[in-house]
Every structure is written in C-alpha cells, then in structure tokens.
C-alpha cells in the first residue's frame, strides 16, 4: 500500500468506519500482557508512570465517533483520576479505519513528540466538524496549520511511506494478534473491553487491580 495524498484523503471522506461498535460493548477475553506490551515499529505513545500498577492500552481510529466520544467525555476525568495519580500507565495505539484516520494519525506522529496528545485532542474535539466537511482534505489541513504545519509539511507528512507502513503494521498486528474488530478497544492489564467506556466502567476494570 502507498502512503496518502490529497486524492486518497478526499476519496475516504464520504465513508464513516464500518467497524465501530456500540458504546460499552464488552468482551471478557484476555490477551498475553507480554505480547500486548511489545511496541510497534514506530514506538508507543504513553502517558503516566512507567511503574503504575495498571496499564491501559487503547486502540482507536480518529474517524471513529465512539473513540471521539470517549476522548471528549471520559478522557480528561480518567487522566485526572488514574493517570495523573500514578495508578495507570496509558498507551494510545492507532487503528485507522480509513484514509482520513490514517491522515490524522500521521499528522500526530509528524508533530514534535511532546505535542502528540495535543494533536489527538485537537482532532477529537473537532471531530464532528471535519467528519462532516465536504472538503475533508482542507478541513484536516486547516487544523494541522493550527498545530504549526504548513501545507508543504502536511503534504510531506502524508507522503511518508515508512510512517504509513508503520501505522498499518500496528493496525494489522492488533487485528491479527489481539482480535481487534472495532474501535475503541481497550486492554486493562490484558483484559479486553470494547466500546466508549464511561469513567465508572473504566473504574470497574481498574479498581480490582489496585
């Protein structure tokens, strides 16, 4: 597969992801934590204390409305209660479901490392607007400019074949190794939970591990 350009981003604009699942759908199966914590070729993006007793891994797509719901409605309170207090180490992994999701994931990776989660927040916060845009490319570009990109650096980022393939490998491994079929999918110390979990639902998984 080849990396993205304006044409491929626009081609993916009309289709919302077909693999997203209803809020709070649950899966009781668990995976090997040793396998789960092997980072992909691009490395992991992490918040929190490396020595936290609980590790939460989220696989998400930037065009997934349920992922957007979690990050808008739950993430801030989750971070304050569990990540900032040293109870949870949070790992975000990309599972892009279409060309636009790849584009946003690539922009976040092209930004300075300390801006990664700021970029995620920018695009998740405005997700309803750019998903609805008839000119998805320019909607994504305008947001990237707010984060310091120029049109030239934005296009160069989307054309980065190694970055595209790295993200694709993370997605494929998640599907192949961990049975991910929808987003968001969380692993809480290896236990799988699927859907836009509320703070209370996250706590029900985390508290017994503390």
pLDDT digits (tens, 9 = 90+) for 56-66: 999 999 999 99
- Evaluate if residue 29 carries a pLDDT over 90: no
pLDDT average, residue stretch 137-158 = 96
Span 132-160, average pLDDT: 95
Residue written as token pair 């650096």: 153
Tokens of 43: 């490395």
CB atoms near residue 39 (< 10 Å): 12
Q: Which residues of 97-122 are buried (b: 16+ CB within 10 A; e: fewer)?
A: bbbbbbbbbbbbbbbeeeebbebbeb
| Arithmetic mean of pLDDT, 19-23 | 40
Q: Alpha-carbon Rg of the chain, whole angstroms?
A: 16
Mean pLDDT for all residues in the chain:
89
Residue 202 has pLDDT above 80, yes or no: yes
Beta partners for residue 59, in sequence order: 93, 185
Comparison of pLDDT for 177 and 30, the residue scoring more: 177
Asked if pLDDT for residue 26 goes beyond 60, the answer is no
pTM of the model: 0.89
Q: What pLDDT shows up at residue 144?
A: 97
pLDDT level of residue 108 (50, 70, 90 thresholds): very high
Q: Evaluate if residue 9 carries a pLDDT over 80.
A: no
pLDDT at 52 over 70: yes
Mean pLDDT, range 92-106, rounded to an integer: 95
Place 77 in a pLDDT band, splitting at 50, 70 and 90: very high
Confidence of residue 131 (pLDDT cuts 50, 70, 90): very high
Query: pLDDT value at position 34?
Result: 86
Burial of 73 from C-beta contacts in 10 A (0-12 / 13-18 / 19+): middle
Q: Is the pLDDT of residue 48 over 90?
A: yes
Domains along the chain with CATH numbers: 6-209 (3.40.30.10)
**pLDDT tens digit string along 159-186?**
999 999 999 999 999 999 999 999 999 9
pLDDT band at 6 (very low <50, low <70, confident <90, very high): low
91: which strand partners? 46, 57
């Amino acid at each position: 597969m080849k990396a993205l350009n304006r044409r491929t981003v626009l081609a993916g604009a009309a289709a919302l992801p077909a693999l997203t699942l209803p809020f709070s759908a649950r899966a009781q199966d668990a995976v090997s934590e040793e396998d789960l914590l092997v980072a992909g070729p691009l490395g992991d993006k992490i918040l929190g204390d490396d020595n936290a007793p609980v590790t939460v891994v989220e696989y998400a797509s930037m065009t997934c409305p349920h992922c957007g719901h979690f990050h808008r409605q739950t993430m801030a309170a989750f971070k304050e209660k569990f990540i900032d207090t040293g109870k949870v180490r949070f790992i975000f992994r990309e599972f892009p479901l279409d060309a636009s999701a790849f584009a946003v994931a690539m922009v976040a990776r092209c930004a300075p490392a300390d801006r990664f989660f700021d970029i995620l927040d920018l695009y998740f916060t405005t997700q309803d607007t750019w998903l609805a845009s008839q000119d998805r490319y320019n909607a994504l570009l305008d947001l990237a400019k707010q984060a310091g990109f120029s049109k030239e650096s934005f296009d160069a980022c989307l054309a980065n074949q190694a970055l595209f393939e790295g993200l694709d490998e993370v997605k494929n491994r998640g599907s192949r190794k961990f049975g991910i079929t929808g987003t968001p999918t969380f692993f809480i110390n290896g236990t799988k939970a699927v859907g836009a979990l509320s703070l209370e639902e996250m706590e029900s998984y985390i508290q017994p591990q503390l």
